[in-house]
């Protein structure tokens, strides 16, 4: 589940409205018996959680949390449930509870998602050194994830002192996902910090519109001005 870190501010910090809280995911995903044979319990559970994931992607964290609480009453908790629960808690700024949920994913098949979640919890409180530790573990668990590499690179920039490593990780992330604007923007910052202004300008010149180029340039300039207070820097993840 499923935020320039674009930690997306994944931190899921968006305050999207929870309007439209008037449907039941189960009735949404289960066909009428007149149309198709009944789904088994495992399929029903999987589809229910898929709809909850959709709510999270829409930024409807409170709604998702309500449905997850309902699910927990009736169904067995799985690692996927725990991941979604952590995301909903993170989105509603219940950071301690979110950390507890993500920590439960260690030694499960969703361990990398757990480390990524813990990294975003740390980033949400400005603990960039802690975020680096967790994002490194996420990358170690899934080395080909452009998202994890991007988050790690940005956290390293914010934590300070590891610009070369951050640049390397962001280069890897961009090669894995060349279309990502957030990875590109973070790489621009890393290049500027490394004194590679010409390469940063070449990267900026590839942005198709003048307006977007100006916005990215301003973002990078503002970021660099704020760097002494790196722990409070803003991101996109």
Asked if the model's pLDDT at residue 118 lies above 60, the reply is yes
Distance CA 109, CA 134 (A): 17
Amino acid 73: pLDDT: 77
Contacts of 101 (CB under 8 A, 6+ apart): 82, 83, 85, 86, 89, 117
Domain count for the chain: 1
Q: Evaluate whether residue 213 is within a structural domain.
A: yes
Distance CA 81, CA 133 (A): 24
Q: Which pTM value belongs to this model? A: 0.74
Q: pLDDT tens, 155-182? A: 999 888 788 999 999 999 999 999 898 8
Amino acid 50: pLDDT: 83
Q: Mean pLDDT score of the chain, rounded to an integer?
A: 78
Instruction: Provide the domain limits for residue 118.
Output: 8-232
Q: Evaluate whether residue 3 is within a structural domain.
A: no
Q: Evaluate whether residue 1 is within a structural domain.
A: no
Amino acid 134: pLDDT: 96
Of 111 and 7, which is predicted with more confidence?
A: 111
Q: What share of the chain is helix, strand, coil (3-state, %, to 5)?
A: 70, 0, 30
Amino acid 216: pLDDT: 81
Mean pLDDT of 24-48: 48
- Lowest mean pLDDT of 80-94, 113-127, 185-199, name the range: 185-199
Q: Evaluate whether residue 125 is within a structural domain.
A: yes
Amino acid 72: pLDDT: 81
44, two tokens? 């029903």
Confidence of residue 94 (pLDDT cuts 50, 70, 90): very high
Of 152 and 44, which is predicted with more confidence?
A: 152
Domain with residue 134: its CATH number is 1.25.40.10
Q: Evaluate whether residue 237 is within a structural domain.
A: no
Q: pLDDT tens, 52-62? A: 888 888 889 99
Contacts of 40 (CB under 8 A, 6+ apart): none
Q: Evaluate whether residue 79 is within a structural domain.
A: yes
Q: Evaluate whether residue 100 is within a structural domain.
A: yes
Amino acid 120: pLDDT: 95
Asked if the model's pLDDT at residue 26 lies above 80, the reply is no
Cα separation values, 210 from 202, 213, 215, Å: 14, 5, 9
Contact in structure between 16 and 88 (CB atoms under 8 Å): no
Percent of the chain with pLDDT over 70: 77
Q: Please give the distance of CA 224 from its chain centroid, rounded to a whole number.
A: 23
Q: Evaluate whether residue 94 is within a structural domain.
A: yes
């Amino acid at each position: 589940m499923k935020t320039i870190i674009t930690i997306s501010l994944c931190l899921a910090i968006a305050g999207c409205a929870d309007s439209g809280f008037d449907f039941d995911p189960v009735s949404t995903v289960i066909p009428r018996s007149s149309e198709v044979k009944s789904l088994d319990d495992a399929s029903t559970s999987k589809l229910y959680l898929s709809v909850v994931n959709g709510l999270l992607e829409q930024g409807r964290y409170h709604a998702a949390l309500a449905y997850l609480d309902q699910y927990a009453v009736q169904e067995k908790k799985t690692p996927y449930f725990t991941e979604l629960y952590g995301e909903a808690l993170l989105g509603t700024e219940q950071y301690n509870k979110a950390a507890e949920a993500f920590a439960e994913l260690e030694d499960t098949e969703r361990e990398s998602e757990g480390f990524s979640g813990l990294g975003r919890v740390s980033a949400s409180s400005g603990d960039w050194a802690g975020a680096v530790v967790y994002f490194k573990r996420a990358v170690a668990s899934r080395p080909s994830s452009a998202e994890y590499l991007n988050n790690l690179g940005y956290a390293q920039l914010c934590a300070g002192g590891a610009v070369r490593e951050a640049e390397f990780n962001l280069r890897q992330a961009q090669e894995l996902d060349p279309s990502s604007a957030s990875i590109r923007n973070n790489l621009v910052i890393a290049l500027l910090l490394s004194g590679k202004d010409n390469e940063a300008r070449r990267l900026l010149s590839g942005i198709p519109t003048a307006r977007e180029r100006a916005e990215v340039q301003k973002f990078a300039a503002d970021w660099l001005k704020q760097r002494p207070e790196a722990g409070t820097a803003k991101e996109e993840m």
